[in-house]
Amino acid sequence: MSEEKTRRSICRICHGGCGALVTVRDNTVVAVKGDPESPVSRGWMCVKGLRSADIANHPDRLRVPLKRKGPRGGNQWEEIPWEQALDEIAEKLVSLRNTSGPETIAIGQGTGRHHYLHTVRFANALGTPNWYEPGLAQCFIPRITVSNLTYGDFVVADYYGETRPACILFWAHNPLISSADGELAIAVKRALQSGCRTIAVDPRRSETAQQCEQWLAIRPGTDAALALAMIHTIIERDLYDKDFVEKWTSGFAELKEHVELFTPAWAEGITGIKAEDIVQAARVYATSKPAVLEWGLGIEQNVNSLQTVRALAILRAITGNIDVPGGDILGMHILKAYPTLKDKLPAEAAKKRLGGETFKLLGGWRAYMPSAHIPALFRAMREGDPYRIHALLVFGNNPLLTVANAKGVYEALQKLDLLVVTDLFMTPTAALADYVLPAAFWTEIEHLMGFPLVVENLVHAQPAMARTGECRQDERIMDELSRRLGLPGADTTYRDIYDYQLSPLGITFDELLERGNCCPPLRYRKYEEGGFRTPSHKVELFSSVLKRMGYDPLPSYAEPPESPVSSPDLYQRYPFVLITGSRKREFFHSEHRQVPSLRKYSPDPCAELHVSAAQALGIAQGDWIEISSPRGQVRMRAKVTENIHPSVVSVEHGWWFPERAAEGFGLWESNANVLTCDASPYDPAFGSYQLRGLLCNVRKIEGV
């Protein structure tokens, strides 16, 4: 007679962190529900997590290693044993490393996964500087880096202590849907229910913005102008925290002079937000204490990424909301840093990192997590400039859907000598591979995770509770390849690493598995113990590091290269402003569209446009429409709404059709990255390219 067992874990179906109770019978997940004893989620879980059993047990899960037969993309496969697959892949890697150099082997991965840092470790051990993740310069790395430059550490909203925020400023962020980076939707929801003041800056009146008292419908790509005008207002009207600024910041005099011309009236002409609304938002944020500034990836997906993020970081500082109860708090860092073997990457190899010499804060020695510039990487695959990338090993990523310029990505993948994809399901990217390896789901892995990401204020253990076919944890796959290749650190298992990371807490991973989590009391105003971890030991409003690196030490505004202002002729043909990437609670980027219990909530891809635009174009709710840009066109259903800037069209990203494998999964039909571009100009420090504020046109598709 089979026996059911329920174990405590954390859901990692997205960046995640929700406490989970997982019930298993006969090595199979039968139910997942929220854990009431979780210190953060307290029993709450989103629809994805609750449907975890549907994903884990899906009949289309990859279960055994596959080797390509016939032409690339022909979708013909041979099932092979793990040992054969790993032996053959290792043999090909050795050959490429010896004949062309390790830098010609690239490593790719998806965002926020359990194996994130282990992938970086594997790349360093292999000797290649060319690893990537689709976000990086487009998501999160600018915020982490700028926080370190400005405050000496990263910050997160304090939803966990006894003091609640008195004000939350949501900037290009929709946490009620995204639950980003361990800062869960339910924590934000509880904060909103406490009666705080709320402001949202977003071209869309998102689910979060709909809960806010003030919505600033900004023209996409102009966030830096709004932030500079708010800084101007706060300083000019003496709303800044004088005690904190005087004692704990450097460069205030330079900042004050710098922002004199950045008035609300100036910003109104750029952003489309009325000057009086800018003043109102600045006043509420500066005077309602403690306040939180919740920022999202929308501020990074432009070619002025560094300075946009810098301007928002300065807003926090001059209002004195750093590391105070109910404000934006610095990390506790209760774990030792993951040993990524950065020292094992030879200096000469690091110099060959694609984009590293140009984009110093992405790939140079000052970078938070040095990585390749994605446009340069895929261009090297296509064109061999400055050298050819011959192989790509992908762990949990679908670049045909999640990287800009999908057509260029497709061409690049076709030219590889070796493509290996590790994933849960067959995807459009996996369908082009030479080898497809079956990955373990979150209920099938062991993992140690500090949350929120980067700051590590608490830590969770994740036990392996079930198994599907011959699926393996990504870390184990990398370790097996490392041993075959004789790489540094190959004898250290990921479990050894977990014990090492936990050593400051005096517990082992096995002990944490029994406890579930460790959540020490938060400490505030940690900077009073020795200052901020910056060269001046203060918050650097004027960044000495950026000045030494040749970047502007004070933030400024730059008009997007493709916009109604900078491209007036193009605007005549493409009279709408495009944003991509709005999240859906039931999906995570390009995942889960093959799961009926999730797909039913969003059966078709949708594009949002304003009621006035729809009426002018004869478009009704649910009509099929074509969205076109200078790069191509896609089709989606119209979602007609008042909750979007009248000139903006928002398209969902990550759309493909798993049910249409025989038709190439409908790869080009509704793929938002058919519309995007990865060409220059780029942000000079991070290499970020423009994904927000591009130009597009819309028309109704007749006869559908």
CB-side exposure of 473: number of CA atoms within 13 Å? Answer: 22
Q: What is the pLDDT of residues 642-655, one digit of tens each?
A: 999 999 999 999 99
Give the pLDDT of residue 135.
84
- Fold of domain 4-56: Phosphorylase Kinase; domain 1 (3.30.200)
Give the pLDDT of residue 623.
98
Tell me the pTM. 0.96
For 565, residues 6+ apart whose C-beta sits below 8 A from its C-beta are: 559
The stretch 312-330 carries a mean pLDDT of 98
Write a three-state SS string for 52-113. HHHHHCCCCCCCCCEEECCCCCCCCEEECCHHHHHHHHHHHHHHHHHHCCHHHEEEEECCCC
Q: Enumerate long-range contacts of 81-84, CB under 8 Å, 24 or more apart.
A: 82/470, 82/472
Give the pLDDT of residue 500.
98
pLDDT bucket at 270, cuts 50 / 70 / 90: very high
CATH 3.40.50.740 intervals, the chain: 66-132+369-449+466-505
Give the pLDDT of residue 278.
98
Helix (H, G, I), strand (E, B) or coil at 244: helix
The answer to whether residue 184 scores a pLDDT higher than 90 is no
Count Cβ atoms within 10 A of the Cβ of residue 41 and give its class: 0-12 exposed, 13-18 middle, 19 or more buried.
buried
CATH 2.40.40.20 intervals, the chain: 568-700
Q: What is the pLDDT of residues 17-69, one digit of tens each?
A: 899 999 999 999 999 999 999 988 999 999 999 999 999 999 999 999 999 99
More confident residue, 448 or 160: 448
More confident residue, 365 or 419: 419
Helix 264-271 and helix 223-236, axial crossing angle in degrees, nearest 10? 170
Q: What is the pLDDT of residues 535-563, one digit of tens each?
A: 999 999 999 999 999 999 999 999 999 99
For Cα atoms 459, 461, 462, give the angle at the middle one, nearest 5 degrees.
Answer: 140
Q: Are 351 and 370 in contact (CB under 8 A)?
A: no
Give the pLDDT of residue 675.
98
Give the pLDDT of residue 382.
97
Shortest CA distance to 533 belongs to which of 148, 182, 220, 155? 148
pLDDT bucket at 428, cuts 50 / 70 / 90: very high
Average pLDDT, the chain: 96
pLDDT bucket at 704, cuts 50 / 70 / 90: confident
More confident residue, 78 or 178: 78
Give the pLDDT of residue 356.
95
The answer to whether residue 2 scores a pLDDT higher than 80 is no
Helix (H, G, I), strand (E, B) or coil at 137: helix
What is the CATH number that goes with domain 568-700? 2.40.40.20
Q: Which two tokens stand for residue 356?
A: 């590293």
Instruction: Give whole-number Cα distances, 46 to 187, 295, 611, in Å.
Output: 13, 21, 30
Q: Are 44 and 184 in contact (CB under 8 A)?
A: yes
C-alpha–C-alpha distance, residues 654 and 260, integer Å: 42
Instruction: Dump the DSSP string for 413-433.
Output: HHT-SEEEEEESS--TTGGG-
pLDDT bucket at 15, cuts 50 / 70 / 90: confident
Count Cβ atoms within 10 A of the Cβ of residue 554 and give its class: 0-12 exposed, 13-18 middle, 19 or more buried.
buried
Q: Which two tokens stand for residue 403?
A: 């990287």
Pairing between β-strand 576-582 and β-strand 692-700 as defined by DSSP bridges:
antiparallel
Q: Are 399 and 377 in contact (CB under 8 A)?
A: no
Q: What is the pLDDT of residues 468-479, one digit of tens each?
A: 999 999 999 999
Strand partners, 4: 25
Give the pLDDT of residue 16.
77
pLDDT bucket at 1, cuts 50 / 70 / 90: low
**Superfamily of domain 141-332+526-549, CATH level 4:** Dimethylsulfoxide Reductase, domain 2 (3.40.228.10)
Q: Strands, E, within 130-270: which ranges?
A: 131-132, 155-157, 167-171, 197-201, 214-216, 249-250
DSSP 521: P
The answer to whether residue 355 scores a pLDDT higher than 90 is yes
pLDDT bucket at 179, cuts 50 / 70 / 90: confident
> Which overall architecture, per CATH, does domain 66-132+369-449+466-505 show?
3-Layer(aba) Sandwich (3.40)
Pairing between β-strand 576-582 and β-strand 648-652 as defined by DSSP bridges:
parallel
Query: CA gyration radius for the chain?
Result: 24
Give the pLDDT of residue 51.
97
CATH 3.40.228.10 intervals, the chain: 141-332+526-549
Give the pLDDT of residue 181.
77
Q: Are 526 and 336 in contact (CB under 8 A)?
A: no
Shortest CA distance to 169 belongs to which of 85, 280, 60? 280
CATH 3.30.200.210 intervals, the chain: 4-56
- Widest distance between CA atoms in the chain: 77
More confident residue, 111 or 258: 258
